[in-house]
Amino acid sequence: MKWTKTLIQTLREDPGDAEIDSHKLMVRAGLMKKVAGGLYTYLPLGMRALNKVQRIVREEMDKAGALEVVMPILQPAELWKTSGRWDSMGPGMFRLKDRASHDYALSPTAEEMVTDVIKGVISSYRQLPVTVYQIQWKFRDEIRPRFGLMRSKEFLMKDAYSFDTSLEAADASYMAMFNAYKRVFARCGLAAYPVEADTGDIGGKFSHEFHVLADAGEDGIAVCEACKYAANLEKAERKIVPSPAPGHGADTPAVEEVATPNAKTIEEISSFMGAPASAFVKTLVYMADGKPVLCCVPGDYDVNEIKLKHLLNVKTLELAPQAIVEDVTGAAVGFAGPVGAKVRVVADQALKGAKGMICGGNKTDVHLENVDLERDCMIETYADLVIVKDGDICPKCGQRMVIKRGIEVGHVFKLGTKYTDAFKAVFKNDKLEEKVMVMGCYGIGVSRTVQAVIEQSHDANGIVWPASVAPYQVVVENLDPDKAEVTKIADDLESALEAAGIDVLVDDRAERPGVKFKDADLIGFPVRVVVGSKGLANGGVEVKRRCDDKSATKIVPVDGAVEAIKAALA
């Protein structure tokens, strides 16, 4: 392919709305162009990278035994109402009506659709197990689209769904997908960590996310580098190490009130009383399915609302509004506490047996000290209810964990029978008994993976593509396109490389060498080959890998150039 025959526009300046390097580079290198917030047109270079990731995904899905299908993007509301998610998905789902006023959704995912399809196709255990997948566009009405393809309203996703006869059989399907995902990301040149994760709106019993570690990642991940335990902060646990008094230990004096005027936050009250945040009980009032509940955690931690929602087993959970807080506690916001509480109280496991603590006094401008949670409070349940912090103890091996940032590129779920129960997706076993199919769900953000590769692999000059997903693996820089001898050598290299199955772009523009080299580095071709009169007079063509410094440039004879390029790609 000749540069002058394709559609490539490179920019010298960063786009004003781009916040992270990969987003800036995708626009500057001419991979995509913004249409509106969260919506992008993929230009030819972007489509080539996107198609290469799709090909890798397809090959690994097929190798794992999955079967490709394509399901409608436009999904009837009745399917979502059957599962109960028409309402629970909330405003993030695009909804519309047809001319007959029937309700539809633009697919954010396809658990309902695929379960309804499989229900109508499979009737016997002899047809199981089966895993189907599609690579299809998905739509989510993000409140704040940002970071380019990382959080967009429209994105390309591979979603797969397994159906099995038992939980044990479903485990095998899960591991087949888990291992396929490891191969997909390795082939894309990504270092992707599988981490334990919450199942979220998808539901189910267990899941892993695959994260690419990057400073720009939106997700926090707790990582133990000793035993390789890793979990999304929504899911991550910590080992509790009892603290010395105050906090745990000997009996404490009776509770005393302390006037704390205008000291509402942990920071304010800690400064006012001259005590560390760990000496306080942070108490928040939540509405759980419309009913108030108090949640208590150590003052130096934040409530993990996902863990709290699971503990309470409720559909909706939100912080109580000011009026409810005042009604429940009898005090202004900031002075809630568990002593004398008239509603349900749950607490983080680290507070079990805690003594000598400080907490809100359920009176405006008042806190209590010398609180013994067992003696002075009615705690219904102790459980893991906090977001882990850097330095917390690993629950597996006892070493300290670190918090890193990650970009989620894949997610695998053990769904169980959440959807197959709702849709009555059953099969007959060898005794002709009806049984419910057991399901798994597996997603890869294909478009997000393209950007994650760039976020993980770039430098000050531009993108550094792995050869497997680069739009073109080689760029041949024709420095003298007006000279027939130089052009013939560039064209011959193009033909030879294409015959060898290597993607090649010949830069035949009438531009200065410096412009061509800057564009080549910006776009990130894995190998650059320079063909010019001066180089040919000095013995051949220049071959340089994008990831090498200038000193690694090699001059090779023209007749040895193809083999040198193959070696550089390898």
Q: Is the pLDDT of residue 265 over 80?
A: yes
* Distance in angstroms (rounded) separating the CA atoms of residues 74 and 458: 37
Residue 250 has pLDDT above 60, yes or no: no
Phi, psi of 550 (to 5 degrees): -60, -30
Distance CA 104, CA 79 (A): 9
CATH class of 472-569: alpha beta
Domain with CATH 3.30.930.10 in the chain: 3-236+403-454
Report d(CA 73, CA 213) in Å as an integer: 31
DSSP string, 222-237: EE-TTT--EEETTT--
484 contact partners, CB below 8 Å, separation of at least 6: none
Confidence grade of residue 203 (pLDDT, cut at 50, 70, 90):
very low
Which pLDDT band, with edges at 50, 70 and 90, does 202 fall under? very low
Q: For residue 357, how many other CB atoms are within 10 A of its CB?
A: 29
pLDDT band (50, 70, 90) for residue 199: low
Collapsed DSSP state (helix, strand, coil) of residue 14? coil
Instruction: Give the bridge partners for 381, in sequence order.
Output: 346
pLDDT in tens, 160-182: 999 999 999 999 999 999 999 99
Query: Please, which residues have CB within 8 angstroms of residue 254's CB and are 6 or more apart in sequence?
Result: 370
Rounded Cα–Cα distance for residues 538 and 481 (Å): 18
The string of pLDDT tens digits covering residues 428-446 is: 999 999 999 999 999 999 9
Q: Which value, in Å, is the radius of gyration of the alpha carbons in the chain? A: 29
Contact 38, 543 (CB under 8 A): no
Name the pLDDT band for 245 (thresholds 50, 70, 90). very low
CA geometry: angle 48, 51, 57, nearest 5 deg: 145
Rounded to 5 degrees, φ, ψ at 151 are: -140, 85
Token pair 């079990």 is at which residue?
Answer: 352
Average per-residue pLDDT for the chain: 93
Task: Give the pLDDT confidence score for residue 193 in this predicted structure.
Answer: 86
Q: What pairs with residue 67 in β-bridges?
A: 132
Tell me which CATH homologous superfamily contains domain 256-383. YbaK/aminoacyl-tRNA synthetase-associated domain (3.90.960.10)
In the chain, CATH 3.90.960.10 covers: 256-383
Q: Write out pLDDT tens, residues 114-128.
A: 999 999 999 999 999
pLDDT given at position 198: 65
Tokens of 259: 């006037």
* pLDDT exceeds cutoff 70 at 246: no
Instruction: Give the whole-angstrom CA distance, residue 518 versus residue 524.
Output: 10
Alpha carbons 450 and 40: distance in angstroms, whole number = 14
Instruction: Say what the pLDDT of residue 214 is.
Output: 84
Q: Predicted confidence band at 61 (pLDDT cuts at 50, 70, 90)?
A: very high
- Judging by DSSP bridges, how do beta strands 554-556 and 541-545 pair with one another? antiparallel
Per the structure block, which two tokens stand in for 175? 């591991």
Does the pTM exceed 0.95?
A: no
The mean per-residue pLDDT over the stretch 211-220 comes to: 86
- How does residue 88 score in pLDDT terms, banded at 50, 70 and 90? confident
Report which listed range, 196-205, 495-504, 542-551, is most confident.
Answer: 495-504
pLDDT band of 206, cuts 50, 70, 90: low
Start and end residues for every CATH 3.40.50.800 domain found in the chain:
472-569
Mean pLDDT confidence for 451-461:
95
Contact 569, 474 (CB under 8 A): yes
Report the CATH fold assignment for 3-236+403-454: BirA Bifunctional Protein; domain 2 (3.30.930)
Task: State what percent of residues in the chain have pLDDT above 70.
Answer: 97
Q: Summarize the confidence of residues 13-31 as an average pLDDT.
A: 94
pLDDT of residue 200: 57
The highest-confidence range among 198-202, 237-241, 349-353, by mean pLDDT, is 349-353
* Token pair belonging to 224: 């133990």
Question: Around Cβ 76, how many Cβ atoms within 10 Å?
Answer: 17
Average pLDDT over residues 511-535: 95
CA gap 236, 147 in Å, rounded: 25
Distance CA 357, CA 247 (A): 6
Which range, of 14-18, 62-66, 387-391, averages the lowest pLDDT? 14-18
How distant is the alpha carbon of residue 491 from its chain centre? 43
Rounded distance between C-alpha atoms, residue 231 and residue 223, angstroms: 7
Q: Is the pLDDT of residue 93 over 90?
A: yes
